[in-house]
């Protein structure tokens, strides 16, 4: 069996199991089909089946299965890279109509803190976007996006009220391959409160994100502020497997 065929089978089996768990065909506590049953179902060797099961264990969806049948631990679905980084894609996959109302788009010199976040010299040109994001026409999140001019020039030529900036960058050939996210809480300032139609000081879920090319070049530094009753983040982790989540202490002076 070729490596490509093995990979295709592994993806197919993992996708089948994730979907069955997400849609409730397998509930938490239910036993999954055995390796033998899955090899027959997918006309596969045991290798791709074991790879698929190992992936779901790492994602925290199923038990280790050592010496016993594997069972479902949780039904929180995993998401694709696109779903996580793109508000529009996330909404579409949840059968929600995304929307946006751009407040402004500008080219400006980067002040010290923004330049440091984007790893560019102070005063270098950046393109910044300030938008209100909507879910089914209801205010949900305020986003502040910043790009070095190399990538931001695509944003300047794009109608930011027409849809996803992320998708536009992809369509323009920008290689967005990795992101880092810091999640915390912050009180709504006057701009946030006005756009989200809440009192000043209302707690908001803040997601600060940086996006990188495959070669490590910084594409974006963003600050997204969600109404906490509109969005939450869930992560599964299991002992013995690395997690993409890190718990860090916060210097109160940085908030």
CATH number at residue 154: 3.40.1410.10
207 part of a folded domain: yes
- Domain with 16 in it: 3-58
Q: Does 121 have pLDDT greater than 70?
A: yes
Which has the closest alpha carbon to 108: 133, 130, 87, 86?
A: 130
Tokens representing residue 186 in the block: 């912050």
User: In the beta sheet, which residues pair with residue 146?
Assistant: 128, 221
The proportion of the chain whose per-residue pLDDT surpasses 70, expressed as a percent, equals 82
Q: Does 252 have pLDDT greater than 70?
A: no
Question: With bands split at pLDDT 50, 70 and 90, how would you rate the model's confidence at 5?
Answer: low
Q: Which residue has the higher pLDDT, 92 or 131?
A: 131
Q: Are residues 52 and 178 in the same domain?
A: no
Q: Are residues 35 and 102 in the same domain?
A: no
pTM of the model: 0.69
30 part of a folded domain: yes
Residue whose tokens read 């579409």: 92
Q: Hey, is 105 helix, strand or coil?
A: strand
52 part of a folded domain: yes
Q: Are residues 47 and 86 in the same domain?
A: no
Sign of CA dihedral 66, 70, 76, 82: positive
Question: With bands split at pLDDT 50, 70 and 90, how would you rate the model's confidence at 23?
Answer: confident
Q: Are residues 104 and 14 in the same domain?
A: no
């Amino acid at each position: 069996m070729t490596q490509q065929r093995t990979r295709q089978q592994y993806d197919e089996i993992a996708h089948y199991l994730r979907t069955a768990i997400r849609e409730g065909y397998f509930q938490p506590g239910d036993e999954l089909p055995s390796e033998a049953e899955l090899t027959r179902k997918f006309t596969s060797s045991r290798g791709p089946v074991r790879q698929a099961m190992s992936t779901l264990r790492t994602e925290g969806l199923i038990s280790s299965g050592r010496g016993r049948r594997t069972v479902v631990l949780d039904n929180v679905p995993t998401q694709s890279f696109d779903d996580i980084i793109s508000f529009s894609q996330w909404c579409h996959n949840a059968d929600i109509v995304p929307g946006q109302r751009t407040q402004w788009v500008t080219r400006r010199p980067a002040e010290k803190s923004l330049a440091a976040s984007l790893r560019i010299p102070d005063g270098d040109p950046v393109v910044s976007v300030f938008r209100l994001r909507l879910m089914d026409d209801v205010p949900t999140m305020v986003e502040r996006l910043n790009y070095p001019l190399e990538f931001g020039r695509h944003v300047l030529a794009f109608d930011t009220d027409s849809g996803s900036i992320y998708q536009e960058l992809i369509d323009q050939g920008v290689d967005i391959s990795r992101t880092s996210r810091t999640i915390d809480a912050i009180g709504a300032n006057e701009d946030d409160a006005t756009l989200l139609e809440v009192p000043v000081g209302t707690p908001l879920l803040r997601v600060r994100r940086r996006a990188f090319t495959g070669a490590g070049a910084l594409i974006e530094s963003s600050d997204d502020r969600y109404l906490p009753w509109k969005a939450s983040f869930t992560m599964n982790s299991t002992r013995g497997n690395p997690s993409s989540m890190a718990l860090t202490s916060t210097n109160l002076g940085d908030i």
